Amino acid sequence: MMVLLVTLVILLSFSPSAFCRSRTDTLAGAWPVPLTDILTDYLPANQITGGPVVRTRIADPEAWESKRSSIEARAKELLGQAPPFSGPLDVKVIAEQQCDGYLRREVTFNSGTGDKINGWLLIPDGASPSGPRPSIIAMHTTITPGAKVTVGIERVRDNRYYGEELARRGYVVFAPDCITAGERVYEGAEPFDTGPFYRLHPRWSAMGKMLSDHMRAVDFLATVPAADTSRLGVIGHSLGGYNAFFHQAFDSRVKAAVTSCGFVSMATSTHPFRFARDTWFVHFGQRLRSYIRAGIVPCDFHEVAALCAPRPLFNYSARQDHIFPDFHAVEEPLKQVARLYGVLGAADRFETVYTDGDHDFPPEIRQRAYKWLDRWLKRDW
């Protein structure tokens, strides 16, 4: 008995770390999670026993449809559970101003999920109910003035005024503020602080909310007589960039999308927690963080981009992007998306452009993106 007590005293004299020491390594390369292959599917040969497992290479549209449903289910789980949707649009025009080449209206309407969406509608000169123009949802970057920058009201950052530029190009444009930005910063919070959102919606995600709001924005555009929503495109840079392909992935009304510096794979990146932070702008809440801490990516960004196929998708990425510094985590996953478009007989509907440079949307790339939108949205105009 005395020996047992002495042993216990000796053990208690050590700190827990002395006999339960964890090894900590900072990974210099991609963390050890493999990149999901969107063109490979795994199914059981026997539905009763659950095996043996059959690996299938997806080489035709029918096989893709089966895999697609699996990706949609995993992506929706990551987006979280939205509250019940209710209420009419209840559109209100706050202000109106004639600008050079277009009419600009500030509007608000009901999001359907408990708050108001605000934004700026740009109607190009000459657009009318008898001659409606193709429509664009222009999604802003992680910049404090939000959509005011996208439509050129706040001139605080070059190469970010693509909403204004597209209106002058003849598109009806709607540029909404995302939650936490512009006119939608929560009371008492800093811009891009999603803490108040998660206190209201612990089972949802900020990404799911932005997707819901952008889909609601299409509902709003459908009420604008000068807007032709049968020819609808989306465009965005950075935060707006991944919002663009998420929107196209889950809304069949989006016929073409442009994403600038908004794509990266979580699995092969050295920064997988950028979308699973504890603070600031938390994209997917704690659910994604819990998965990544277990070394799992439940649904990756190239899988979501694959849901856009075969509709036209244009991606621009910069090789020296300091926000997404792992260029291999951009290029390799997008090669899979390109192969999928080929399988679906739509190789010409997916374009990737890479240049040397930082996190930006340069003029020459914007012009190329605008021509891409013209190609797919102005065919009947």
Report the C-alpha gap between 109 and 103 in whole angstroms. 19
What is the structure's pLDDT at 9?
Answer: 41
Q: Which residues contact 200 (CB under 8 A, 6 or more apart)?
A: 114
Please, are residues 334 and 305 in contact by the beta-carbon 8 Å criterion?
yes
Q: What is the pTM of this model?
A: 0.92
Report the C-alpha gap between 307 and 241 in whole angstroms. 16
Report the C-alpha gap between 181 and 142 in whole angstroms. 8
What is the structure's pLDDT at 15?
Answer: 43
The list of the chain residues with pLDDT below 70 reads: 1-21, 28-29, 380-381
What is the structure's pLDDT at 7?
Answer: 43
Report the C-alpha gap between 222 and 125 in whole angstroms. 19
Task: Please report the domains of the chain, with CATH numbers, ordered by start residue.
Answer: 92-377 (3.40.50.1820)
Please, are residues 120 and 167 in contact by the beta-carbon 8 Å criterion?
no
The C-alpha R_g of the chain, in whole angstroms, comes to 24
Please, are residues 145 and 117 in contact by the beta-carbon 8 Å criterion?
no
What is the structure's pLDDT at 16?
Answer: 42
What is the structure's pLDDT at 94?
Answer: 98
What is the structure's pLDDT at 5?
Answer: 44
